[in-house]
Structure 1
Amino acid sequence: MELIKIKDLNFSYDESNKKSLDNINLNIKEGEFVLLIGESGCGKSTLLKQLKNELAPFGEFSGEILYDGIPLKSLDQRKSASEIGFVMQNPDYQIVTDKVWHELAFGLESLGLDSETIRRRVSEMASFFGIQTWFRKDVSELSGGQKQLLNLAAIMAMQPRLLILDEPTSQLDPIAAAEFLETIYKINRELGITVVLTEHRIEDVFSAADKVVLMEEGKIVGVESPRKIGKIISDKENKHPMFYSLPTPTRIFEECDGSGSAPITIKEGREWARENFQALSDVLKEVSLDKSKEAKSYTKEDTVIELKDIWFRYDRNAPDILKGVDLKVYKNELLCILGGNGTGKSTTLGVIAGNNKAYRGEVYINNKKVSKYKLKELFNKNLGVLPQDPQSLFVKSTLLEDLKEVFDGMDVKKEERENKIKEVSKTLKIEELLNSHPYDLSGGEQQKAALAKVLLLDPKIIILDEPTKGIDGSFKRELGKIFEELKKSGVTILMVTHDIEFAAENADRCAMFFDGGITSKGTPREFFCGNSFYTTAANKMTRGILNNILKVEDVVKLWKKEKNHLK
């Protein structure tokens, strides 16, 4: 039975001459698990919001959406609230109460259910999601992963038939993201709830989908099973940009000119690797290290940022968030800070940027104490910061006006301003978004737009908090190239990220945060290859079969060596 039927849907945002959704036709059966994929800005989030009346954006709409045979726009508000659940990218935008238990009960109270029913459902959800131990905590005490799980539990307490999720793991560390997605699978499998999900990190979700919907410039260009859509995207004659977002086993298989059915899971990828590499000589099994990412020697003069014994807490009586953090960031390097939610990564960036005042320890920029700087002067001349929430940088009604705002108070001629805006817009591929309201942009587009504002400052130090969230694999490759060019021009980049694959591909060094401190540092290969869980998909796929594998290109390199060896 069809739960959702979309017929000839077209949509344009207010004052936009471009269709965000173009003649969309899609049927979703009850109980299906549907994954939407496509490049940033292709219309995925806009389409999802059209399935929830309360979130549907303002603009020009035509066509029809039927929910269980009823026009969605005429659906009773109570029925819409209880039967259609929506999980946003950022749980902070959705959580409305101060206590965990109250958040679980809030939606049920809004529906006017009796106290006994509310208690029963709340206790059931708390048990199902395993949140009994923090049931009475303040929401403010929760990590990002816990908040997103609470958000999902509160929605599930209302017993929805349709669960819509828009990039729900974008702010979660890899382990928390995998656990969250496993909960979604469980809800779909055990409760039969229809799931419609969009994700850019599709490594852990691709194989679970009943069907995958591929979108491109507001249109649906393919609706197939995961394997079939993977084959379409991997077409050697016309490789789709989403190829770089496909699961690592599929990408390796296709890059190695594999024949037959492509693996889409780590388990299948390991079977393929055993069959194709088990007979390799020990010489071929050992990948030559990437010399550009080997540990380098630095002097004190190379130190751009230094933290010495930093201790920080948000309140005098609260526990310490940072516990004696020592860190050095060197000139012209990209240092990626990784670790679980709530370990102190973003707090550390706040200390460097001057937003958080450490009660012990010192911060040095270019070997000078930050306290000796006027912060405003420091930011104008040296430092650019992209916060975790890009929306906090937008203050104007169009993106173009927001970019122009960067130059307020600066002695930059009009022609130079226009040229800089034109150049950065082209580099970040946001030219067509300049007349849009920043809040109408997708999550990935907002990331690009916020980064554009930072780059317009021409900073020598760039601090980034989760800059790749919501961005597709193809543009991540472009972003890596942008960072490389910035480093060549003398820019130092410090980046907090949950994106293991991006860090492995682009970082000069990685640092692991745990329990308020740094527990390990090293080059990407040193940092990831010894781990079991906190490592790249290529490493998981080949561990015990090949040695020292970090990236897709490592496996492809060995494949080519093998072919040449056999010749």
Structure 2
Amino acid sequence: MAVLTIKDLSFSYPEEKDNALHSINLEIDEGEFVVLLGQSGCGKSTLLKQIKREIAPHGQLIGEIFYRDTPIHLIEAQLKSSEIGIVLQNPENQIVTDKVWHELAFGLENLGLETHTIRRRVAEMANFFGIQQWFRQSTIDLSGGQKQLLNLASVMVMQPSLLLLDEPTSQLNPIAASEFMTMLRKLNEELGLTILIAEHRLEEVLPMASRVIVMEKGTVIYNGKPRNLLQGLPHGHAMIKALPSAMRIYHSLGGMIDSPLTIKEGRQYLQEMDIENDRIEDEVLHEKQEIVLEAKDVAFRYVKDGQDILRYFNIKVYEGEFLSVIGGNGTGKSTALKVLSGLLKPYRGQVFLNGRKINKYTNTELYQKNMAVLPQDPTVLFVEKKVSQELQTTAKMAGSISKIEQIIELFGLGGLLERHPFDLSGGEQQKLAIAKLLLLNPRILLLDEPTKGLDAHAKQSLAETLQVLQKHGVTILMVTHDIEFSAQYSDRCALFFDGQIISNDPPRKFYSGNTFYTTAAHRMTRKIFDNAITCEDVVKLCKKADKVASG
């Protein structure tokens, strides 16, 4: 039976010529786990918001959405809020109360349920999700992974039949993301919950899917089984770069039918090729340049008598390098970035910019002549009502009006210029925020999760842009959970733990030595290849082995 039916659905935003959605026809059956794919701006988020009408954007809607054969706009609001749940990208944005237990109870209280029913449901859900140990904590003290798990539990306590998720792991570290996806699998398999999820990180979610829907420019271009994606997508389509590592390697080596999906299946496929152990040549270490940003024995806490978030934090960032910092949610990486940028003041230790104490700089010197900072939430940078106005205002301030057209083309913002920044998808907001920063002509870029919400094509464009900036001497410090991006494009990688940097090395050495904080390609090829960390590494070594065997 179809839980959700979408018939001839089209939608356009105000003052937009092109439709964001165009003639969508879909059916989602009871108990399915459906993954929605597509490049940033293809319409995934817009479609999900049309299903969850309470958060639907303003615009012109044509067509109809049916929930269990009833037009969705005719369903009683109370029933709709409990039957159809949604979890969004930013864990912070859905939490509305100050305590974990109250967050779990909040939706049920709004439904007017009796106290004993609320208490029973909350207790059951807290146990199911393993929340009991932090049941009475303040929500503000939770890590990103805990907040997103709490959001999911707060939706599930309403006992929905359909769960919508929009990039729910985009801000989670690899371990927290894996735990979140494991919980979704459990809900689907043990409760029969119908799930429709839009996601860019496909390593774990695609193998769970019973069906995959690929969107492009507001239309559906593929609707079928995950293993048939390579056959179903047009030759050379940009989404191929976003597929799980096993599929990408299989495709690059000529495979098309019955593709491996998981790390385990990819490993079996490579072992059947009977390849001898080999390795990629290690990176050539360039002589280190001048130190442009440095922290010496820095300590920071938010509350006078609270715990240190940073303790004996030391870091050196060299001119023109791309340094990425990884680590768990809630460990203090973003705090470190704010201290390094002068936004927060440490109570011990010093931060130096070009050898001068950062507190000796004026704000104008810091943020208009030296550095630009991308925060975790890009929307805090938006102050205008249109994308075009955001770019123009920033360019006028920085004297870079001549660069606007180039930036618009670089980030594919041409079709979004008349859109309100808050109507953009998460990936589009991220691109706009980075575009604004580049108009400032910074010498140092501090980026907090810059690839969050970006599809594979947008990530590659961003990487190419950062590489061009590096060639012009721009220094880049990135805090990220995107290990694949870090491994492929960084000059140096560092691990943040317990308030400090505990190790740093070039990407190949760094990721080859890790078990969990490493790439899918390395996990797949461990003990087959010594130090392959990207899909390109694996394909190169496989082709080298094949050439040796045939020659």
TM-score class, shorter? over 0.9
Partner amino acid for 1:113? L
Task: Please list, as runs of the form range in 1=range in 2, the aligned pairs for 1:5-16 lying within 5 A after superposition.
Answer: 5-16=5-16
Match for residue 525 of structure 1?
A: 508
Match for residue 179 of structure 2?
A: 179
- What's the CA shift for 1:295? 3.3
Output one character per residue of 1:440-464: Cα deviation in whole Å (capped at 9) or x when no partner. 1111011000000000000010010
Aligned match for 1:463, one of 434, 438, 446? 446
Are the equivalent residues in 1 in contact too, given 2:163–2:195 (CA < 8 A)?
Answer: yes
Aligned match for 2:385, one of 397, 401, 404? 397
Are the equivalent residues in 2 in contact too, given 1:243–1:474 (CA < 8 A)?
Answer: no
Match for residue 131 of structure 2?
A: 131
Output one character per residue of 1:162-188: Cα deviation in whole Å (capped at 9) or x when no partner. 100000001100110010011011001
User: What is the distance in 1 between the residues matched to 2:405 and 2:255?
Assistant: 42
Alignment of 1:454 onto 2:437: yes
User: What is the distance in 2 between the residues matched to 1:148 and 1:13?
Assistant: 29
Change (3 A) 1:15 1:189: same
User: What is the distance in 1 between the residues matched to 2:109 and 2:285?
Assistant: 57
- What's the CA shift for 1:105? 0.4
Are the equivalent residues in 2 in contact too, given 1:223–1:229 (CA < 8 A)?
Answer: no
User: What is the distance in 2 between the residues matched to 1:537 and 1:435?
Assistant: 39
User: What is the distance in 2 between the residues matched to 1:86 and 1:501?
Assistant: 28
Alignment of 1:315 onto 2:312: no
Partner amino acid for 2:57? P
Partner amino acid for 1:247? P
**Cα RMSD (Å):** 1.2
Sequence identity percentage: 52
User: What is the distance in 1 between the residues matched to 2:53 and 2:258?
Assistant: 41
User: What is the distance in 2 between the residues matched to 1:317 and 1:15?
Assistant: 53
User: What is the distance in 1 between the residues matched to 2:504 and 2:466?
Assistant: 20
SS in structure 2 of the partner of residue 66 of structure 1: strand
User: What is the distance in 1 between the residues matched to 2:164 and 2:230?
Assistant: 23
SS in structure 2 of the partner of residue 62 of structure 1: strand
Match for residue 296 of structure 1?
A: 286
User: What is the distance in 2 between the residues matched to 1:175 and 1:220?
Assistant: 32
Output one character per residue of 1:466-515: Cα deviation in whole Å (capped at 9) or x when no partner. 01011111221121111111100110000010000000000000110112
User: What is the distance in 2 between the residues matched to 1:391 and 1:260?
Assistant: 42
Alignment of 1:486 onto 2:469: yes
User: What is the distance in 2 between the residues matched to 1:52 and 1:63?
Assistant: 15
User: What is the distance in 2 between the residues matched to 1:558 and 1:148?
Assistant: 39
User: What is the distance in 2 between the residues matched to 1:555 and 1:409?
Assistant: 46
Match for residue 207 of structure 1?
A: 207
Task: Please list, as runs of the form range in 1=range in 2, the aligned pairs for 1:56-71 lying within 5 A after superposition.
Answer: 56-71=56-71
Task: Please list, as runs of the form range in 1=range in 2, the aligned pairs for 1:335-484 lying within 5 A after superposition.
Answer: 335-410=323-398, 412=399, 417=401, 419-484=402-467
Match for residue 544 of structure 1?
A: 527
User: What is the distance in 2 between the residues matched to 1:69 and 1:31?
Assistant: 16
Are the equivalent residues in 1 in contact too, given 2:263–2:524 (CA < 8 A)?
Answer: yes
User: What is the distance in 2 between the residues matched to 1:563 and 1:250?
Assistant: 19
User: What is the distance in 1 between the residues matched to 2:275 and 2:53?
Assistant: 58
User: What is the distance in 2 between the residues matched to 1:254 and 1:26?
Assistant: 28
Alignment of 1:266 onto 2:263: yes
User: What is the distance in 1 between the residues matched to 2:522 and 2:454?
Assistant: 23
Match for residue 157 of structure 1?
A: 157
- What's the CA shift for 1:409? 4.5
- What's the CA shift for 1:433? 1.1
Task: Please list, as runs of the form range in 1=range in 2, the aligned pairs for 1:70-89 lying within 5 A after superposition.
Answer: 70-89=70-89
SS in structure 1 of the partner of residue 272 of structure 2: helix
User: What is the distance in 2 between the residues matched to 1:230 and 1:172?
Assistant: 28
SS in structure 2 of the partner of residue 215 of structure 1: strand
Match for residue 294 of structure 2?
A: 306
Structure 1 gaps, min length 5: none
User: What is the distance in 2 between the residues matched to 1:170 and 1:260?
Assistant: 30
Aligned match for 2:480, one of 490, 497, 505? 497
Change (3 A) 1:199 1:354: same
Are the equivalent residues in 2 in contact too, given 1:421–1:456 (CA < 8 A)?
Answer: yes
User: What is the distance in 1 between the residues matched to 2:359 and 2:117?
Assistant: 56
User: What is the distance in 1 between the residues matched to 2:300 and 2:324?
Assistant: 21
Are the equivalent residues in 1 in contact too, given 2:48–2:164 (CA < 8 A)?
Answer: yes
Change (3 A) 1:85 1:260: closer
Match for residue 242 of structure 1?
A: 239
Query: Which shows bigger deviation, 50-59 or 21-30?
Result: 50-59
Change (3 A) 1:406 1:528: same
Partner amino acid for 1:335? L
Task: Give the TM-score, by structure 1 length.
Answer: 0.95
User: What is the distance in 2 between the residues matched to 1:513 and 1:53?
Assistant: 41
Change (3 A) 1:117 1:331: same
Are the equivalent residues in 1 in contact too, given 2:231–2:256 (CA < 8 A)?
Answer: no
Output one character per residue of 1:38-93: Cα deviation in whole Å (capped at 9) or x when no partner. 00000000000011110111100010100011100111000011111010101211
Match for residue 329 of structure 1?
A: 317
Partner amino acid for 2:473? G
Are the equivalent residues in 2 in contact too, given 1:230–1:246 (CA < 8 A)?
Answer: no
Partner amino acid for 1:14? P
Match for residue 516 of structure 1?
A: 499
- What's the CA shift for 1:317? 1.9
User: What is the distance in 2 between the residues matched to 1:116 and 1:71?
Assistant: 33
Are the equivalent residues in 2 in contact too, given 1:10–1:21 (CA < 8 A)?
Answer: yes
User: What is the distance in 2 between the residues matched to 1:546 and 1:349?
Assistant: 35
Change (3 A) 1:487 1:409: closer
- What's the CA shift for 1:560? 2.0
SS in structure 1 of the partner of residue 486 of structure 2: helix
- What's the CA shift for 1:520? 1.0
User: What is the distance in 1 between the residues matched to 2:309 and 2:229?
Assistant: 44
Match for residue 226 of structure 1?
A: 226
Alignment of 1:252 onto 2:249: yes
SS in structure 1 of the partner of residue 280 of structure 2: coil
SS in structure 2 of the partner of residue 8 of structure 1: strand
Partner amino acid for 1:336? S
Partner amino acid for 2:253? C
- What's the CA shift for 1:230? 3.3
Change (3 A) 1:404 1:270: same
Are the equivalent residues in 1 in contact too, given 2:314–2:501 (CA < 8 A)?
Answer: yes
Task: Give the TM-score, by structure 2 length.
Answer: 0.98
- What's the CA shift for 1:372? 1.6
Match for residue 33 of structure 2?
A: 33
Partner amino acid for 2:49? K
Aligned match for 2:279, one of 282, 286, 307? 286
Output one character per residue of 1:208-232: Cα deviation in whole Å (capped at 9) or x when no partner. 1010000000000110010112332
Match for residue 109 of structure 1?
A: 109
